[in-house]
Structure 1
Amino acid sequence: MIRFLALLLISFQLYAVTLGEINSKPPSLAKNFLIWQYFKQDITSKEADAAFYQIRDVNRKLFFSYAKKSDRPEVVYTAKCMKMGRKSLENSKDENCIKIAFSIGKAVYMTPENRVRIAEIVKKKTTTELVGMLNDINFTRHLETYPPKLVLRLFNSVNSTFRQNNFNQPITKAYMERLAAASGFTRSLIRALTVPGLDGYLNSMLQVDGTDRDGNTNFFLGLNQLRHGNTAKAIEHFQIAHAKAYYRMDKDKTLFWQYLAGKNDLILKKLSESVDINIYSLYAKEHYKIHPDNYFITLQSSSKKSVKDLRDPFTWNKVLAEIKSTPKEQLYDLAEEYDAKNLIPAQSFIVERASGYKLHGFIMPYDRYMKDLSRDDKALYYALMRQESRFIPAALSRSFALGLMQMMPFLVKALDKEVKYKRHSLHDMFDPKINLMYAKTHIKWLQYRVYHPLFIAYAYNGGIGFTKRHITQDGVFSNAPYEPFMSMELMANSESREYGKKVLSNYVVYKKILGEEISISHLFDTLKIPSQTDRFRVSK
């Protein structure tokens, strides 16, 4: 037994992060991940200090992990104040802690007297002004007397109830134009469109002239006009958005909505000629029976194996730095240098960049780990993988999502009980085989609840609870005009909104590659039939 425990301890130590390892690595996200894991081990405060001061771009997650290991009074104190809730803040006499903990979001729930007291402690002009607005019992009447930037700051900081009670009212054209020119306007527009109960605010936004606004603002102004039945004004906004858009997908999106609003076949034809592969261009190409041909499935021809290991985040950092520093005209030569069977994802990445993203990689380098999947599931997994990591095994996000399928550490730990594999550390997630093993378990769980690839993508990115709340809202993915597209564009979580679109287009392409019948128009239509998409709406 003693020998067994000794071997177990040695085994554990093989996978423990050491300070020496941290010291030897260059500043990077990968190094931050090492340090975060180090903080979870049995280390001293001095060791925690030595690691902490090597972090590049400290965030709350890293700081709180560090604070748990530190015995430095100022660190422990700061962490305690940062975590202080509203009730504790109201009762606190510690002025320094109050300054750290205060936010307008917390102030909404305070008594007027406590807001004033705390604002006097914080001693910031903006805070004093915002508290004055919160305490104004005639705020709705006085709204247009306040500076637009402050009004938007308040709108974007408070809860939905406060917004509905204080902003859901007519606003003059002159003041609305001042709001539209101020920082935070687009955010307020999107919030108003994606959360019920602000019809008065949205009606006032119909007055906004989009000429001097950016492309994104004009797009959402167009959706607002469309929801109010103003087709001509909506098309004007979409046209401005198209002219100002930088990314090809954004240009295609504005063309698509011009077509939906005006049913102009010339617009749809123009969209079908796009070199980007997205849900909008695929819809247009399908209408004109055009199959996109500007993508590749394979590139690598050599059977050799490189010493570069894309399962190592630090190796991938070096590869990525080399790619980014290589002039565009030399990238195809660089792609030749990455002609090795274990570097296919990097080679694909380089070719896409070399082409100016006019060629798109839909490679399938991990078939050997997907033999147990149906072709439909295989298309789904590759669709998710392409968006999550671009097939790079060592992909690592700022929130420490890991590997091919960007598995979150908390999810990995939850799945440990279900996956038939004895994980040694989170670094195991950089092994494609193991990463997919965990992802399969999670995706099967999601597929029991949602069946449509778009909803699976939403749930994979934003969580099943978030997805359920979105799709079960009244009027969402219904038979109303411009559905299901309006519901796809007006998802409150912008990351999941764009993620879902990209995964859906990936899925369509992979289905075609794998020889399966697929129609993106049918996929769109199916979103309005609850029995074919999810369990939640059927039970309503």
Structure 2
Amino acid sequence: MLKKSLIVFILSVIFADCAPYSYKELEKKPNSLAKDYYLYRLLEVNKIKKNDIKTLKGHIYRYAGRIKTAIEAIIPPLGYNKEYELCYKFNAQNILDANLTCQLVRLNSLTFVQDLNSSTKELIKKNIPSENAKISKLLDAFDSKDPLNYVISNYDSSNFYRIYEFDNNQKDFFLEKEFLNELALEKEFTNFIKEIIIKKKNPLMRKSLVNIDANLTHQDNAFYLGINAILENNDTKAFDFFKVAKNTFQSQNLIDNATFWLYQLSKDEQYLEELSQSNSLNIYSLYAKELKQQPIHKIEILNPQKEKNDFNMKDPFAWQELSKKINNTPKKDLAKMAKEFYTKENIAIYAYIQERVEGFSKNYFIMPYFSYLKDYDVKRQAMILALARQESRFIPTAISTSYALGLMQFIPFLANHIGNQELQIKNFDQDMLFDPKIAYQFANHHLDYLESKLNSPVFVAYAYNGGIGFTTRMLKRDDMFKDGKYEPFLSMELVPYAESRNYAKKVLANYVVYLHLLNDNTPISKFFENLIQNTDSQNKSLAAN
């Protein structure tokens, strides 16, 4: 215990003495997520002058999310394209005085279109060239009492999605098959159906989706139309959609997901056998291996003898530069690059490169920095490894687009709360999360909290990714993770937050494999059984949150 306290004290002194990068220092750094993160840190404490902020965009790698919000709080955006600035002097009363270019610019706003009177709409339509027929139809729709009903009645698939999103009431309609088949060809179709299926909105629309021609669908939209057909008690049509999804998906993981549903619907052993032979170790192939009484295999064992190379594993900028180089290097040259990192300290980078060399066809379940986990029980060791593999691929200086940090990808707010208030580390700085020992310590501490509230590694994964509030709200619903046909697999496809939905599946697969590697052969079926929330103790636990 004394040794642990001494290490934390030394680290806190080291980090406390490290002044943040100055703006002048960051100006010289290549644009990257690491640079964005440190610029954002300066913005948080008002260390960038307003005059410098005006030219800051040229130094930003990804102008979105936190850094965009911070900059726009200081210098509000124009709210329109400066190229067409003069067009915005025209309103619904004088739009006829504008040239065609400005008229088309203003018609991009449905609020503006809604404010036009009928005669103005008619006069504008006369000037619209034939290649902009979509806009003429839009004006016709807004000249009716109910624009959404108008586009549905007139099979105007080109304007349906915009008007549906604009309509505050988002009224429910049963859509005819012919119109649905047209809607399926529009680029907005996939997001539209996922929204109404996962959130269980618009019951009439969802019911009508079953009638879409499966041959007009592909990949994600075919898959979620299959889920919808199950919810609508039409397993035959669901099978058709999943078959299309299986045949059009590119990723083996997604192919296995669709194959699993084909097995669930048909109980055809051919699909189960196919899953059991998959090269991808995901929850569906692992379950198939269990049902077919086949061992988990094809895990790559790495045992480098060299301690390290000269790459700085503690420098976030070094990783950003190397990551860019990896992405820009032809696959034939990557294998040579990988060999440079076949060392004990750099094994995460070696595995990262090899996955790309081999097109993710091999399974690397490495355990870097395992000495920091040796005092934990096997299940906790496996859970931390499972999360780290999914969060960062064990890259200690990884930074996400939301500025989650390090091996375990803690967001700064949570990192500071744990470091300052819960663990009370003296002179804590969030960059301490780039140290693997600290990252594992924080993960262990946070898992103590999550596991006190949630009874499954899957639910813990949802909470680790999407937050405890999101997870408990979902589990309190009467239509999620309850006993029923195709459960818990159906609920796992309907988790409202897409990132958490996919994340937890991958973490569970990682968890089962790491348990196996640590000589705990708990079958994956045990974790599926534990997802059904029926017992009084489970309900009491949720009610307390």
Give the TM-score taking structure 2 as reference length. Answer: 0.82
2:63 and 2:151 map into 1 onto residues whose CA distance is 41
1:495 and 1:258 map into 2 onto residues whose CA distance is 24
What's the secondary structure of 1:515's corresponding residue? coil
What's the secondary structure of 2:215's corresponding residue? coil
Name the structure 1 match of 2:91. none
Contact 2:210 2:229 in 1 (8 A): yes
Question: How many residue pairs were aligned?
Answer: 495
Name the structure 2 match of 1:44. 49
1:343 aligns with 2:342: no
Name the structure 2 match of 1:153. 162
Contact 1:130 1:150 in 2 (8 A): no
Structure 1 residue aligned with 2:302, among 294, 298, 305?
Answer: 298
2:337 and 2:224 map into 1 onto residues whose CA distance is 41
2:163 and 2:462 map into 1 onto residues whose CA distance is 29
What's the secondary structure of 2:186's corresponding residue? coil
Measure how far apart 1:190 and its partner are.
1.4
Q: How does 1:128-527 map to 2 (within 5 A)?
A: 129=138, 136-137=145-146, 139-140=148-149, 143-145=152-154, 147-156=156-165, 162-163=169-170, 166-167=171-172, 169-302=173-306, 304-415=307-418, 416-527=420-531
Q: How does 1:71-150 map to 2 (within 5 A)?
A: 75-76=75-76, 78=78, 116=115, 129=138, 136-137=145-146, 139-140=148-149, 143-145=152-154, 147-150=156-159
Cα distance, 1:226–1:345 mapped onto 2, change above 3 Å: same
Contact 1:156 1:187 in 2 (8 A): no
Measure how far apart 1:341 and its partner are.
2.1
Measure how far apart 1:20 and its partner are.
2.6
Cα distance, 1:382–1:423 mapped onto 2, change above 3 Å: farther
Measure how far apart 1:529 and its partner are.
3.8
1:404 and 1:9 map into 2 onto residues whose CA distance is 21
Measure how far apart 1:514 and its partner are.
1.0
Structure 2 residue aligned with 1:62, among 64, 67, 74?
Answer: 67
1:10 and 1:256 map into 2 onto residues whose CA distance is 51
Contact 1:115 1:131 in 2 (8 A): no
2:222 and 2:516 map into 1 onto residues whose CA distance is 34
Aligned amino acid, residue 71 of structure 2: Y
Give the TM-score taking structure 1 as reference length. Answer: 0.83
Measure how far apart 1:53 and its partner are.
3.2
Measure how far apart 1:64 and its partner are.
3.2
Cα deviation code 1:83-126 (max 9, x no counterpart): xxxxxxxxxxxxxxxx99x987xx7xxxxx996389x9xx9997
2:24 and 2:69 map into 1 onto residues whose CA distance is 22
Measure how far apart 1:50 and its partner are.
5.1
Contact 2:239 2:265 in 1 (8 A): yes
What's the secondary structure of 1:352's corresponding residue? helix
Contact 2:141 2:150 in 1 (8 A): no
Contact 1:285 1:292 in 2 (8 A): yes
Aligned amino acid, residue 205 of structure 2: Y
Name the structure 1 match of 2:7. none
Name the structure 2 match of 1:5. none
Cα deviation code 1:473-499 (max 9, x no counterpart): 222112211111111011221111100
Cα distance, 1:67–1:266 mapped onto 2, change above 3 Å: closer
Name the structure 2 match of 1:15. 19
Cα deviation code 1:427-449 (max 9, x no counterpart): 22211122222233322222121
1:356 and 1:139 map into 2 onto residues whose CA distance is 45
Contact 1:226 1:261 in 2 (8 A): no
Structure 1 unmatched runs, 5+: 1-7, 80-98, 108-112
Contact 1:186 1:217 in 2 (8 A): yes
Higher relative contact order (CA 8 A, sep 6+): 2
How much identity, in percent, do the aligned residues show?
Answer: 31
What's the secondary structure of 1:15's corresponding residue? coil
Aligned amino acid, residue 347 of structure 1: Y
Measure how far apart 1:537 and its partner are.
4.8
Contact 2:458 2:504 in 1 (8 A): yes
Contact 1:450 1:534 in 2 (8 A): no
Cα distance, 1:77–1:512 mapped onto 2, change above 3 Å: closer
Measure how far apart 1:538 and its partner are.
6.6
Q: How does 1:25-36 map to 2 (within 5 A)?
A: 25-36=29-40
What's the secondary structure of 1:495's corresponding residue? helix
Contact 2:482 2:534 in 1 (8 A): no
Larger displacement relative to structure 2 (219-228 or 199-208): 219-228
